[in-house]
Amino acid sequence: MKFTLSWLKEHLETDAALSDILRALNDIGLEVEGVENPAEKLEGFRIAKVLTASPHPQADKLQVLSVDAGDGAMQVVCGAPNARAGLVGVFGMPGATVPANGMVLRVAAIRGVESNGMMCSTRELELGEDHEGIIELPADAPVGTAFADYAQLDDPVIEVSITPNRQDCMGVRGIARDLAAKGIGTLRPLDAILAMLPPVVPQGPGPDVRTDDPEGCPAFYAQAVHGVTNGASPDWLQRRLKAIGQKPISALVDITNYVMIGLGRPLHVYDMARLRGGLVARKARPGEQVLALNGKTYALTSAMTVIADEAAVHDIGGIMGGEHSGAQDKTTDVLIECAYFTPESIARTGQALGLTSDARQRFERGVDPAFLDEGLAIATRLVVALCGGTASEVTRAGSPPLETRTIAYDPALAERLGGLAIPENRQAAILERLGFTVGADWQVTVPSWRRDVHGPADIVEEVVRIEGLNEVPSVPLPRAAGVAKPTATPLQLIERRARRAAAARGLNEAINWSFISEAEAAPFGGGDWTLANPISEDLKVMRPTLLAGLLSAARRNADRGASAIRLFEIGRRYFRKADGSSDERLTLGFVLVGEKLPRSWQGGKAQPFSAFDAKAEALTLLAAAGAPVARLQMMDEAGSAYHPGQSGTLRLGPKNVLAAYGVLHPRLVRAFGLDGTVVAGELHLDAIPLPKRTGFMRPPYAPPALQAVTRDFAFLVPEALEADALVRAVRGADKAAIVDARLFDLFIGQGVPEGQKSLAVEVTLQPGDKSFTDEELKAIAERIVAAAGKQGAVLRG
């Protein structure tokens, strides 16, 4: 929301400095996003008169001017076709910066002739698009005066961020009301603003309008003005609109924008000569279309509210008018529409059409339903004052939803809920300045423009934000004596350990949206949940996997030249249960893209990541999270998203999957715009068994007193046997003595029978209170060979 300081002071009587106003805006929750004074960009530009003009001796299209900018004659080379003796324009002094291109003006020679500064066009000063010649000012313009002062451009433009619940501040008057409640001046009565406009005496019956859609358009007010003369709006109105980035179009259109931004009341003006019969607010009929003011044609549905006559649709109700019936230069008779549209209906229509506008932003939040008559009266007076004509009576079709909300309020709530003790009379004064009515028994009536206030807590918020959130004292929370007990849940501890371990292993954490596009979800089988009102088509599906977001992030990094990408994310995936309810699963996802090791004189070519790297990451992170890694089973492929034969799962039993990992399928890799081998994995953190709580004390560290013993075993096994099955069998041969077993060699070749392979396993034995004897070691070895034999393994000779 943008507005100028002078526009604000049209509604707020104040002598406060700009800095005080900005500070107050931030204090009351209207965050200032920027302040810009156009006059600052025009420093060094003065009004000047061309004394003489003669041809440039070295260039046919240039002239040598003698210019007086208040300090005597200066020589300037100029190429504008309208440059001539006697012209009064805008001169940029040496040292000034041209706003349009940032060029600093200096004394320079142009084709051998010295030039001091330049005469400027409107485009160069960012005051318009005209670049055909230099600015021409009236002959009586004061030479030597700063152009910003002459053009009344010394008017700071303030931009504030309006939260969705503050529909009342979508107009300058609402912001002025809040500042007045804060104590920054006094709100001018609306009657005083109306008094500045000439009164209008209605003549003749009002226009023919009605509403057949009380749900979408409960109220449709209109007034006609006959005999208008449309044209350019006056300078003061054009300056105000240009300052906030609005393009002046014509007096009739500019008036509607002025009322909308100043008072938060959107309007629309129709050229009555282009209408056929009366106007009606109704639901669109199947197959109807409208060519909107933005030049695009929109197909309408029966759920959308439109304004139409007997022949066609002329307006997407509350969002954008049609191009056919808008006010034109030759318009003489106009119908001014001032209607109330239901916020929910506006939101659904705008989302369905993908169409946004200033009017939609206000109607969607909810305009004041009690401001139809005043808004229409102000617009009509402005039309008559600026364009002439005779106004008709007002036609009022339907009625706006004027509910009166009264809330029983206890002033003590300000301290109990808001933490700030405010005297009762101060609270009453704040509320009354905001437009609330406070009864003697503290029955507070909510003004019609505050549809966001529904209960006592909302009133506390209003009182405390105006009094000042910075006034709320910092009070420590009560704390019981002794050592505080931990508050993190077991699952939160698992998440915390997994995050730290992933970062320690060199993975960079990514934070993605919980929503992905349908195209990103498709390679993973699509999503179970699709949003009906997404903020973007690219954020439409609740993600069924974290890999989609990670792969998109990896592509962005690869596009910027990253050669080795290691990303992880902890978040939730979303599914639908068999009964239709939602299911959220806490997951750690990771992707490894690019070079595992760069090329070097030692290793030769760069080495890519492999499925074993994904497996190592999964096992290490699961161990850090507290999963019983020694009991995990390594089972079949991880799914269609992975490369056949190059993936696996880690499970506790056949159904409890703790992780899936491997090389991603090339088709999926290409779908995300990546090249080469990409490995990834997902750890299901909420599937890890939670540890049993036996107390808050850690067990004492007790390292073994005796040194461990290692023994190597080489087995011939069927080629189809998984190494994990053999290692698990060996580890379980003697649970008291064997503390670890790991595969360290795989061999297929000479000396190994066909259809078999050789697997070598290193077994770690840990003695207890005394060292192993030879007989004990022999017995353990026999048990290991026997356990391996049950898997079809034979000790290799």
Question: What DSSP designation does 472 have?
Answer: S
Dist. CA 125–CA 38, nearest whole Å: 10
DSSP calls for 406-466: EEE--TTHHHHHHS----HHHHHHHHHHTT-EE-TT-EEEPPTT-TT--SHHHHHHHHHHH
String of b and e for 289-306 (b: at least 16 CB within 10 Å)?
ebebbeeeebebeeebbb
Beta bridge mates, 718: 756
Please state, in angstroms and rounded to a whole number, the distance separating the CA atoms of residues 754 and 750. Answer: 9
Strand 406-408 and strand 443-445: the pairing is antiparallel
Cα separations in angstroms, 563 against 328, 552, 554, 566? 59, 15, 10, 10
Contact 738, 764 (CB under 8 A): yes
Structure tokens at 515: 């929503």
Q: Does residue 612 contact residue 602 with C-beta atoms inside 8 Å?
A: no
Measured distance CA(488)–CA(496) in Å, rounded: 10
Residue 452 annotated as lining a ligand binding site: yes
- Rounded Cα–Cα distance for residues 107 and 22 (Å): 39
- Residue bearing tokens 């009586």: 140
Residue 533: half-sphere exposure toward Cβ, Cα within 13 Å: 7
CB 719 within 8 A of CB 746: no
Would the annotation count 462 as a binding residue?
yes
Q: Is 373 a known ligand-binding residue?
A: no
- What is the distance of C-alpha 191 from the center of its chain? 39
Write the Ramachandran bin of 651: left for phi over 0, alpha for psi from -120 to 50, otherwise beta: beta
* First CA to last CA distance, the chain: 84
Cβ–Cβ < 8 Å for 210, 60:
no
Residue 396 vs residues 219, 337, 372, 377, 620: alpha-carbon distances, Å: 7, 10, 10, 13, 73
236: left (phi over 0), alpha (psi -120 to 50) or beta: alpha
Annotated binding site for Mg(2+): 452, 458, 461-462
Annotated binding site: 452, 458, 461-462
